[in-house]
Amino acid sequence: MGAKKKKVTKHEKLIHTARNLIDEGFDNLGRSINNPSLLDRYFVAATYKAIRFCDAISVLCKQGMTDEALPTLRSLMEHSINMRWIANKDSAKRLKSYMDDLGKKGFGTQWTTTTLDKRMEEVGFDDRDYFNYCVKLMYSYAHVNASSLKWSEVFDHPQLSKENWSPDALYQVVAQMLGHVLKALDTHFEGHFNNYNSIWNSIKVDKNIGKKIEKLRKSFK
């Protein structure tokens, strides 16, 4: 008998749905853009990058490396919010600030004086709960702070958790970020990517985001 096929989770299915909606949107555009502007090119390239982040997270999760996938999830979050923020208003000016980081003077420096939490607030995150829980958590894992270490492997103590993050805990955030990618695309390519609400309506994100994600956190079986 062959190996038992792993069940596809609710949020993993939602990621597939979001990707299909992105693909359908580009079909609506005709798979080509006449005389594309710099902004057109940016949003196409940024979408490709977002999908690559999703692929990387999926590969790591399927290998049981969910902790190691968290830094990439942090990158996906900031990348998706940047797309929303650039699309929201003053797009040409904001894109120029973003691209100035490619120059010698700006390379590797902060490209905007607007912090990530303020960018998130502008595009619809009305309070800091999501930022305080998700963004700071991912930051901790990206920089290997003490809180991100598996202390149960260092000290044999019953109060130290031996749990890993479940893939579905990460997939929930990935799906939501793909909703933001869809929204950014629909803001720029108006009317072609207008199904982002079908993703967001499947993920109720509010001030209890921490509790909701923690419910998905469990040991691998």
130 vs 48, more confident: 48
| 46: its two tokens | 């940024």
List Cβ neighbours of 58 (8 Å cut-off, separation of 6 or more): 15
97 vs 131, more confident: 97
Torsion of CA 61, 65, 67, 72, to 10 degrees: -60
The residues spanned by each domain of the chain are: 10-103+110-216
User: What radius of gyration, in Å, describes the C-alpha atoms of the chain?
Assistant: 19
Q: Cβ distance 39 to 187 under 8 Å? A: no
Q: Can you give the pTM of this predicted structure?
A: 0.83
Averaged over 39-68, what is the pLDDT?
94
Q: Cβ distance 193 to 153 under 8 Å? A: no
Task: Identify the three-state secondary structure at position 221.
Answer: coil
CA–CA distance from 56 to each of 68, 78, 90, 140, 149 (Å)? 10, 16, 31, 19, 21
User: How much of the chain exceeds pLDDT 90, in percent?
Assistant: 39
- On the 0-12 / 13-18 / 19+ scale of CB atoms within 10 A, 116 is middle
